[in-house]
Chain A
């Protein structure tokens, strides 16, 4: 009797365990919405507008995946996560994927059991300081009070940087970017440090952005990208190739303006045809419709369009493409071929 109860418990436990790692793709299709983890609000990357509609560069990735899987870029449930809560949210299955300025590191990939599907922004950590503080280099920050978001790579880089340069600082740990902005503007910390893209986005929200300078030192590599749980390779493939489709589309000249026309009938370029599903079976291989990539690109445009509209040089955030240009333009974006 005892033995059967034991085996019973074991089976139930085993069942529960196998449920946890069930195919995310099927779950998403069945649910009809994609649960996508984003920031609690970082203008340009992910923030809700006045009507509560989320928009931004990371949000664009979520919408593209929703469009690829469900055919509807609006079928996304955005889950705001802080630097601290994001990994628990993903590991527990509360979200299907995370697109939140998250740095691809060894320990996150290997030890925390996540799968980074690619890089959508090559970044590095910087400092922002009020202009009238009179500092021009991070090396002059000895004794400064630094606001830093907890649970991030930037927190560790900061400790390493000051240690390596043999200077001291006083950390003020904060939970969200909004809190950091408030503390920094109130002068509770002298400088604020995070990913340089995040600094640019934060500064754009200031009343007087020109009163603050971003110091020249970039103290780390922060390759930011979307990630999924380790062990569900089919779902990882879907997110990875959706991101690649956005990048390939820019390289191949497929934009939201010409996509309908290009997808209507096979074109002269077979890679475009395979991408847009007018030739080959790529969609079916992923377990998706043939027009998956077309939907993903139509959702918000290709990578370049997403970049320009949300964080590019003509937006208040004003980031140049830099490392994030296509490899053909001297950048690092280089997607594997669609074949």
Chain B
């Protein structure tokens, strides 16, 4: 029963760095740090000297040179005379587009499938189990290629829509499903009054959230239950429709039509975008379904029973008791699923979708030979975007997590 006590304070000797418990951990940490720095320095020097031996250097000047290649899906202005930097920006935007679409869709698939996996209906339950097992156990690259190949091989080419003996037709004269993607009408905003309608629409969405918050507060404060569904629906549709007609229909639709080799006008969702989007959504949705199921099952049955004994209806039990608690379990893994979607979107090149890996990390890298610079920039981009997503989701997680009073 003796406790180890440090030797009494004396003059400092070098051996104390190892023998003295007060210093020992610092010594080892210091050694580890030096080794780590040394290793990093070695890698860095190795890189620089190898580059020098091959007559190469690290320089980002190429980003200002004309890219020289064209990109099919561009949201911002871009042509082949634009700089490599701009090509990278176009790629970044395309990455964000597909990542956003896939995150939203995957969440919808995942929540539906996760809840239905717990259904009392045997067929529905098994069907959802089948979905989850099939989709998450086949690599997402294969899904991307499967969806893309099915589209290019089985859908009609634009020229099949032409002439009197056309073998394919448009849906409602508005949608064309071709092997180059889907063409749909695109909204055209005419001048200021068009933007007012959009403003009204955004305002009513904010209004819906404000109303729901107000109703929840009222419920907690006074116990009075205000109706939720119909005011939300009314807020969603009525103001915007009113504004639309009062301002004289300032938003029109631009329909796609067959001109020359392709459909022109309207919105063109390219086959590559659709394949990537759905493959990512359906694959990650299967993982999210499992997270949702786990989250719901993590809430003890006693909660349901207690709520029921207070007289709550099953729908309310789900919305007011189970889901708020389940969200705490669901959100953290959901963050990593969103990160996965963003990172997996770099498989875009398999179907020729021009994301940032295809522009900066593909064509630019290849045409300029600036492999190290391009890869460094790519790493920086994916790191930044992943940290941003984590940060945003963490804020949300903090808002739903258990508040300790």
The chain A residues found within 8 Å of chain B, CB to CB, are 5-6, 9-10, 12-14, 16-18, 20-21, 83-84, 87-88, 91, 107-108, 111-113, 133, 141-145, 150-151, 155-156, 158-160, 162-163, 169-175, 182-183, 186-190, 229-231
Contact = CB atoms under 8 A, between A and B. Distances in A.
B367 interface: yes
Interface string B17-58: 000000000000000000000100110011001101111100
Contacts of B54: 20-21, 91, 113, 229-231
Contact of B68 (A5, A113, A156): A156
Interface of B: 38, 41-42, 45-46, 49-50, 52-56, 68-72, 79-81, 152-153, 157, 159-160, 179-180, 259-262, 264, 271, 349-350, 352, 354, 358, 362-363, 366-369, 371
Contacts of A190: 261
Contact of B46 (A13, A88, A155): A13
Top 4 A-B residue pairs of the complex, sorted by shortest distance between their CB atoms? A187-B157, A159-B80, A151-B366, A17-B53
B354 to A, nearest CB: 7
A310 B160 CA distance: 37
A12 B261 contact: no
A175 B350 CA distance: 8
27 contacts: A9-B38, A10-B45, A12-B42, A13-B42, A13-B45, A20-B54, A84-B362, A87-B366, A88-B371, A113-B54, A142-B260, A143-B262, A145-B261, A151-B362, A155-B363, A156-B367, A163-B80, A169-B70, A170-B262, A172-B72, A173-B72, A173-B354, A175-B352, A187-B160, A188-B271, A190-B261, A230-B55
Contacts of A87: 366, 369
Contacts of A151: 362-363, 366-367
B38 A113 contact: no
Contacts of A14: 49
B51 to A, nearest CB: 9
A9 B45 contact: yes
B17 to A, nearest CB: 15
Contacts of A20: 50, 53-54
A144 B367 contact: no
Contacts of B42: 9, 12-13
Contact of B53 (A21, A84, A111, A175): A21
A166 to B, nearest CB: 12
B41 A143 contact: no
Contacts of A159: 68-70, 80
Given A91-B54, A151-B366, 17 more contacts: A9-B42, A12-B42, A14-B49, A108-B369, A112-B369, A113-B54, A143-B262, A145-B180, A150-B366, A155-B69, A156-B80, A159-B70, A170-B72, A173-B358, A186-B179, A187-B179, A231-B55
A189 B72 CA distance: 13
A143 B80 contact: no
A88 B370 CA distance: 11
A13 B50 contact: yes
B70 A113 contact: no
A187 B262 CA distance: 11
A44 B130 CA distance: 47
A133 B180 contact: no
Contacts of B45: 9-10, 13
Contacts of B363: 150-151, 155, 173
B166 to A, nearest CB: 14
Given A6-B41, A143-B262, A171 B367 contact: no
Nearest to A2: B34
Contact of B261 (A143, A162, A175): A143
Nearest to A88: B371
B261 A144 contact: yes
Contacts of B52: 17
A9 to B, nearest CB: 4
A183 B152 contact: yes
A183 B46 CA distance: 43
Contacts of B157: 186-188
Contact of B79 (A10, A163, A183): A163
Contacts of B350: 175
A91 B51 CA distance: 11
Given A87-B366, A171-B70, A16 B46 contact: yes
Contacts of B367: 107, 151, 155-156
A215 to B, nearest CB: 14
B327 to A, nearest CB: 41
A147 to B, nearest CB: 9
